[in-house]
A and B are shown apart, each in its own frame.
Chain A
């Protein structure tokens, strides 16, 4: 069964709305969680890495004020797309890792469509 749960799986909203996506590790405590973005027919692009209780580390070119990441506990990380616009429409995927030498477990992804 799934070890990482991502919610919601699909969301459509109007421009200007803020959208929160949740990522939960179900069977383990995740020391590190990752957020990716994937445009159609493209690869996954790492947006940010977060460790429980610490501020997220963002990749170059990713606006931290636009994509707010909160890793409040060892089992939950959230990504909030603030004041979303159509160009933010994408497939967002989270992953979680128990320890540094363990594989990442991926969530099912969230399809975000901004009208």
Chain B
């Protein structure tokens, strides 16, 4: 079974600082996703990384994927309080329904990183 490890689990940092969240996974997969979750809310999609070497940036967040190392990073640049949330990475794996008629992709989530940016 695919295992997804995320580090750190909790991160408290000052505004203006930089930091990186790491996501390691145990089995070959070419697709990795990053999500944000605010308290009491569902998931908000941040990035979809579909190939080795993929790098995507949105505002102060940048995500990258190294499929050979089975590692994705989410880099935070000059953090602001509004970035406070829990961040999840997710890796998908092909599954098959009983009887083999359909394929589907199962998501395996990391444990999440709770980010607290102090003003």
Q: Which residues of A come within 8 Å of B, CB atoms?
A: 6, 31-32, 34, 41-46, 49, 51, 54-55, 57, 93, 95, 97, 100-101, 103-104, 106-109, 111
Contact = CB atoms under 8 A, between A and B. Distances in A.
B40 interface: yes
Interface in B18-43: 33, 35, 40-43
Interface of B: 33, 35, 40-43, 45, 48, 88, 94-95, 97-98, 101-112, 114
A45 B105 CA distance: 15
Contacts, number: 63
B101 A107 contact: no
Contacts of A55: 98
13 contacts: A32-B104, A41-B114, A43-B112, A46-B106, A49-B104, A51-B97, A51-B102, A57-B95, A97-B105, A101-B105, A103-B48, A104-B105, A104-B107
B104 A107 contact: no
Looking at chain B's contact residues, the main secondary structure is strand
Contact of B88 (A32, A44, A54): A44
Q: Which of B35, B48, B97 has the most CB of A within 10 A?
A: B97
A21 to B, nearest CB: 13
Nearest to A57: B97
A35 B112 CA distance: 18
B11 to A, nearest CB: 14
The 7 closest A-B pairs by CB, nearest first: A109-B42, A32-B104, A106-B43, A43-B109, A108-B42, A44-B109, A43-B111
Contact of A108 (B41, B97, B105, B106): B41
A101 B95 CA distance: 12
Nearest to B89: A43
A34 B107 contact: yes
